[in-house]
Amino acid sequence: ETGVTQTPRHLVMGMTNKKSLKCEQHLGHNAMYWYKQSAKKPLELMFVYSLEERVENNSVPSRFSPECPNSSHLFLHLHTLQPEDSALYLCASSQDSLVSDTQYFGPGTRLTVL
């Protein structure tokens, strides 16, 4: 596969469940991002990893927990979410987070919290 892939594409979970979103980039990039996309709102940056180190954490509730085991993979662990967390979660990557600006996005995971 090429580009940025995300699994699952759709996820329905209850507020007491624990689930994880997975992102993989096949571009040889060093930086990876999680965004939340809600209807009629700008993309909200959640986390940034550069060379597997978290460099940005945008006041995201602790019920969202990122993990970056290597520069190709990024996870978002979810637990005790709220209905307002329902959204499209997008992963992106770039060559690095400071110098090269262009981000490449995956298709997203559509999350519904019941």
Partner 1 sequence: GENVEQHPSTLSVQEGDSAVIKCTYSDSASNYFPWYKQELGKGPQLIIDIRSNVGEKKDQRIAVTLNKTAKHFSLHITETQPEDSAVYFCAAKKGGGFKTIFGAGTRLFVKA
Give the binding site for partner 1 (CB under 8 A).
Answer: 4, 6, 31, 40-43, 45, 48, 50, 55-56, 90, 92, 97-98, 101-108
Cα–Cα distance for residue pair 91/22, rounded to 1 Å? 9
Nearer to partner 1, 80 or 86 (CB): 86
Nearer to partner 1, 52 or 56 (CB): 56
Query: Closest approach of Cβ 25 to partner 1, in Å?
Result: 12
What's the angle, vertex CA 25, arms to CA 21 and CA 28, rounded to 5?
150
What's the angle, vertex CA 45, arms to CA 87 and CA 76, rounded to 5?
65
Nearer to partner 1, 81 or 106 (CB): 106
Query: Closest approach of Cβ 76 to partner 1, in Å?
Result: 15
Do 92 and 103 form a contact (C-beta atoms < 8 A)?
yes
